[in-house]
Homo-oligomer: A and B are copies of this chain.
Amino acid sequence: MKKRFQVVGIGNAMVDVLSHVEDGFLAENAVEKGIMQLINTERSVELYGKMGVTKEISGGSAANTIAGIAALGGRTAYVGKVRDDQLGAIFAHDLRAQGAVYETPFAAPDGADETGRCMVLVTPDGERSLNTYLGVSEHLGPADIDREMMANTEWIYLEGYRFDGPESHEAFALAIDACKGAGGKVSLTLSDPFCVDRHRGAFRTMIRDHVDLLFCNVHEMQAMFPADDLKASMAEAAAEVEIVACTASENGAYILYDGETEHAHAVPTRIIDATGAGDLFASGFLYGLTSGFDMLSAGRMGCVAAGEVISHIGARPEVDLMGLFKEHGLV
């Protein structure tokens, strides 16, 4: 029997606050380029005060992935916590408007924390440097996991960033148990090389015990599986999970499974804003995988979706992705 969902994603629910900056701004404000750094309320206020004019666009890594799957017509849902405030309303609206199911209860209205946001500083080279105020997204816990939903999905997609919250480990465990108990599978994204450094042990255990499909980029791969070269790191990863999907920027992505390696080429694009590249790769790949396409086609779908999202500001697709798949002869 067909399950209700192809993919259910769990992660940090965020609204992105995007601004163009020069490289000097990063240096002056001690922002590390190209990675995600967690910031507290004070730092968030300080940094926002120095940022120029911004745009607000729904974000959140796994939420971007789920939005992409929904945009492709996939059956998909998202779990992540916002508060009943204006940014929370925007986040919920945008996911649902895209066709995803989103039913996570609002965070309690009595706390000091607001809906999480990520200050995205985009430099002229298109690279993005992320400054994340987690807000209530931090409070995602086991009570937010609907076992029935998890039993009713072919895949769950876990966001590595969410390992930054203690209660969320329990939430992940619950989701994995319900999903696998009903024959579903588990995918994980390593999210960020520094996220790997923070959670190496927890990632290692989860990969070994539960993960069927591992998403990462080459930096995360080498942080997680240190070896002489990328090929050796990928081989180590492939020994642990059924499928490895490793993105490599302008070199596209490598898919390892059953002792094979497929190379999906990147779509040539002028990079305006790299935000969401990995997230949308996962959208395309998971959509392809759960729609009966072969590994290389799924990888190419990932590359096409990633190519779309880096061609404009913001981490949600703006162009009909299925139309792009058609143009590329993928469907």
A residues bordering B, Cβ < 8 Å? 20, 48-49, 51-58, 67, 85-87, 90, 93-94, 97-98, 114-115, 314, 316, 318
Q: How far is the CA of A145 from the CA of B182 in the complex (A)?
A: 65
Q: How far is the CA of A314 from the CA of B55 in the complex (A)?
A: 9
Copies in the complex: 2
In the assembled complex, which residues on chain B have CB atoms less than 8 Å from the CB atom of A316?
53
A318 to chain B, nearest CB (A): 8
B97–A51 touching, CB < 8 Å: yes
Q: How far is the CA of A97 from the CA of B86 in the complex (A)?
A: 21
With both beta carbons as reference points, the residue of chain B lying nearest to A70 in the complex is identified as B53
A44 to chain B, nearest CB (A): 11
Q: A87-B86, A98-B53 are in contact. Are A93 and B314 (CB under 8 A)?
A: no
Kindly name the residue among A86, A87, A114 whose own CB sees the greatest number of chain B CB atoms within 10 A: A86
In the assembled complex, which residues on chain B have CB atoms less than 8 Å from the CB atom of A97?
51-54
With both beta carbons as reference points, the residue of chain B lying nearest to A52 in the complex is identified as B97
Main secondary structure of the interface of A (DSSP, over half): mixed
5 contacts between A and B (CB under 8 A): A51-B93, A53-B58, A55-B57, A55-B314, A85-B86
Q: How far is the CA of A48 from the CA of B93 in the complex (A)?
A: 8
Q: How far is the CA of A87 from the CA of B86 in the complex (A)?
A: 7
Cross-chain contact of A94 among B53, B67, B86, B314 (Cβ < 8 A):
B53
Q: How far is the CA of A114 from the CA of B87 in the complex (A)?
A: 13
In the assembled complex, which residues on chain B have CB atoms less than 8 Å from the CB atom of A318?
20
Kindly name the residue among A55, A314, A316 whose own CB sees the greatest number of chain B CB atoms within 10 A: A55
Cross-chain contact of A54 among B48, B53, B85, B94 (Cβ < 8 A):
B94
Cross-chain contact of A56 among B49, B53, B57, B115 (Cβ < 8 A):
B57
Q: How far is the CA of A49 from the CA of B54 in the complex (A)?
A: 24
A54–B90 touching, CB < 8 Å: yes
With both beta carbons as reference points, the residue of chain B lying nearest to A115 in the complex is identified as B86
In the assembled complex, which residues on chain B have CB atoms less than 8 Å from the CB atom of A67?
53
Q: How far is the CA of A253 from the CA of B49 in the complex (A)?
A: 37
A56–B98 touching, CB < 8 Å: no
In the assembled complex, which residues on chain B have CB atoms less than 8 Å from the CB atom of A48?
93
In the assembled complex, which residues on chain B have CB atoms less than 8 Å from the CB atom of A20?
318
A48 to chain B, nearest CB (A): 6
A76 to chain B, nearest CB (A): 15
Cross-chain contact of A55 among B53, B56, B87 (Cβ < 8 A):
B56
Q: How far is the CA of A26 from the CA of B305 in the complex (A)?
A: 29
In the assembled complex, which residues on chain B have CB atoms less than 8 Å from the CB atom of A57?
55-56
4 smallest beta-carbon distances between A and B, as pairs: A56-B56, A86-B86, A52-B97, A53-B94
A144 to chain B, nearest CB (A): 22
A244 to chain B, nearest CB (A): 31
Kindly name the residue among A53, A55, A90, A93 whose own CB sees the greatest number of chain B CB atoms within 10 A: A53
In the assembled complex, which residues on chain B have CB atoms less than 8 Å from the CB atom of A51?
93, 97
In the assembled complex, which residues on chain B have CB atoms less than 8 Å from the CB atom of A55?
55-57, 314
A313 to chain B, nearest CB (A): 9
Q: How far is the CA of A146 from the CA of B12 in the complex (A)?
A: 43
Q: How far is the CA of A56 from the CA of B89 in the complex (A)?
A: 12
